[in-house]
Amino acid sequence: MSEIDASVAHPARRYNYWLGGKDHYAADRESGDQLEKMFPKVRLGALANRALLRRATRFLAAEAGLRQFLDIGTGLPTADNTHEVAQSVAPESRVVYVDNDPMVMVHARALLTSSPEGRTAYIEADLKNPDAILADRATRATLDFDQPIALMLIAVLHFVPGNGAARPIVRELLDALPPGSYLVATHATSDFGTLEQQRLYQQLIDEGKTDVWTRTKDEFGDLFDGLELVAPGIVPASEWRPEPGATIPERSDINVWTAVGRKP
């Protein structure tokens, strides 16, 4: 296991900070506060993203009937993790968690315990190396690649910089999954910002001051080529099958695209 570097902000720990968790360092809080100063609603987007994970997982387990989940970019454990939601519907559900932060793995092994009927496994690996994730012994021992699998890419693809850079990674992962599998993805976007906000954020990217590479709706939609989109299609996280009576924020407060697609 690699060592934890507390001096450099890490997305998983910064996300934990925004969600009100306790597993973060000064560098993570400083990074989170800096982004929140420029984009005051970024914490609201993080919360909407987490709520989407719960709803999408419940849909997959209860309505789509999936019992296997490959969750890449897990983040630090909070309430209602993927296996907890899935196993509340189907206790036999199996989940493989993947993250590249050693702190995540430490906490995952301690806190993400499966139901007796199901199973969870944890891999320290990087999304940018999908072959290693797919070939890992824990992945193969936990998931049956002859049966449908839900590929969960929640708020992780925007850490793959470069126009078009995320698509081949997603394609390699999907190509390994059988028909009937699903892709769930969320992704930061600048589509809803003002021109001034978009300019400011592009400047941060150009100066290397942010690790989040935003993508447009069109580029995000390209990740789902060949898949059957589940209604309501590509929408902000807060608008994907919201709970009855839920308050829907302004899109410019969320800035996260969401979609769920089925592999035919």
pLDDT, tens digit, 9 for 90 and up, residues 122-139: 899 999 999 999 999 999
Distance, in Å, from the CA atom of 67 to the CA atom of 87, rounded to the nearest integer, reads 9
> Residue 221 corresponds to which amino acid?
G
Q: What letter would DSSP give residue 159?
A: G
DSSP 262: E
Cα gap 167→95, rounded to integer Å:
23
pLDDT-derived band at 45 (thresholds 50, 70, 90) equals: confident
CA-closest candidate to residue 104, choices 85, 131, 123: 123
Instruction: Quote the pLDDT of residue 232.
Output: 98
Question: How many whole angstroms from its chain centre is CA 145?
Answer: 21
Residue percentage of the chain with pLDDT more than 90: 59
CB 191, CB 216: distance < 8 Å: yes
pLDDT for 99 beyond 80: yes
N-term to C-term CA, the chain: 37
Task: Examine the pLDDT at 1 and tell me if it is beyond 60.
Answer: no
Q: Is the pLDDT of residue 236 over 90?
A: yes
Structure token pair of residue 26: 């000064």
Classify burial at 160, counting beta carbons within 10 Å of its beta carbon; exposed 0-12, middle 13-18, buried 19 or more: buried
Closest CA to 68 of 42, 96, 47, 88: 96
Residue 201 — φ and ψ, nearest 5°?
-70, -40
User: Which residues does residue 183 pair with via DSSP β-bridges, in sequence order?
Assistant: 151, 261
Residue with tokens 């290693």: 132
pLDDT of 168? 98
Give SS3 for 106: helix
DSSP letter for 243, please.
P
Identify whether 232 is preceded by a cis peptide bond (ω within 30 of 0).
yes
pLDDT in tens, 152-210: 999 999 999 999 999 999 999 999 999 999 999 999 999 998 888 888 888 888 887 78
Considering the chain, what is the average pLDDT of its residues?
88
